[in-house]
Amino acid sequence: MLECESALKQSFTSFDDFEVDTTDLDIPTTPETSPRTLVRSKSWGSLANIVVRSPKLLNVRAPKQQSHWRRNQPAILQWVPLDLSVAEIRIVLLQKSSLANTRKYTIIADHVENNGLFVLKQVPLTLSKDRDYFVRFMSMDGKLFVDSDTFSIGE
């Protein structure tokens, strides 16, 4: 036993001898919140308004360039979360050719836990067969995002 430990054991035999006045302590408090004051996320405009492409948000593991999604079948999305301050993400499916023309996109999922895995239950049948799709993983405020490689969707 260390010398200072034995001195402490000899001088303090009971915690009943101590009184703590918490009025003198500077303890941080949590502000009171109600459902009316909580903000879940701010809405976001078009994808053209996004400011920062951030590879530090996450690393995409799937889909990759060799991936092929089948319409009406499940699809697995995997990533490694890097920015742990981002608790939830939005997952958007885009098509390069459509982005240039119509700027159409499909929100696959919203308020997804940033845990590295999401299973899309069914790839929409309405999507055209093509090879220029990609997934955008974004922070809920839309300020940070990472794009996957392009991949194909078909039968």
Using the structure block, give the residue that is written with the tokens 């590879």: 55
**How confident is the model over 76-108, as pLDDT tens digits?**
999 999 999 999 999 999 999 877 777 788 999
Containing 111, the helix (H) or strand (E) segment is: strand 105-113
| Domains of the chain from N-terminus onward | 51-154 (2.60.40.2840)
Q: Which residues pair with 89 in a beta bridge?
A: 112, 139
This prediction has a pTM of 0.64
Do 80 and 57 meet the contact criterion of CB atoms below 8 Å apart?
no
**Average pLDDT along the chain:** 77
SS3 content of the chain, % helix, strand, coil (to 5): 15, 35, 50
Q: For residue 67, give both structure tokens.
A: 């991936």
